[in-house]
Amino acid sequence: MSSWSLSLRSYAGTLRSLAGRLEAAPLHAVYADLHEVWVGPAATELATGARTLDRNAASVGGELRRVATALDRRASSIEAAEAAAAAEAAAAEELLVHGATSAPPPPPPTWR
């Protein structure tokens, strides 16, 4: 694996971790508990704001997961290209070292 694909996979993992942390901490639950103790318009505003933040966190978390998936796809395509290039280089080296084991078939005759 190249450093590019490793970096992309690392970034993807970081984004997934961040998305999980954003989605795992529901703020509205914390403020609902606070609302039981502290009643009034400010507590209601805090609870409403917390629900909005939770929705935004879920949206951002989803977007982070989409970006992470795109990074993983890009890393996979880089790895596939590297593997193809390595196979091609190995085949070329094999030809150089051992030569062609059989001559290519002659071209078909052309009838006019």
Provide the domain count of the chain.
Answer: 1
Q: What is the mean pLDDT of the chain?
A: 80
Angle at 89 (CA atoms; ends 88, 95), nearest 5 degrees: 90
Output DSSP code: residue 94.
Answer: H
Q: Is the pLDDT of residue 59 over 90?
A: no
At 12-23, the pLDDT tens digits run 888 888 888 877
Note whether residue 58 is domain-resident. Answer: yes
Does the pLDDT value for residue 56 go beyond 70?
yes
Q: Where are the alpha helices (DSSP H) in the chain?
A: 3-24, 27-37, 41-98
Residue 39 forms part of a structural domain: yes
Q: What is the pLDDT of residues 60-85, one digit of tens each?
A: 888 989 999 999 999 999 999 999 99
Residue 88 has pLDDT above 70, yes or no: yes
In a domain, 18, yes or no: yes
| Residue 112 domain flag | no
Domain that holds residue 11: 3-75
16 falls within a domain: yes
Classify residue 95: in a domain, yes or no: no
Task: State pTM to two decimals.
Answer: 0.63
In a domain, 63, yes or no: yes
Gap between the Cα atoms of 19 and 13, Å rounded: 10
| Residue 103 placed within a domain | no
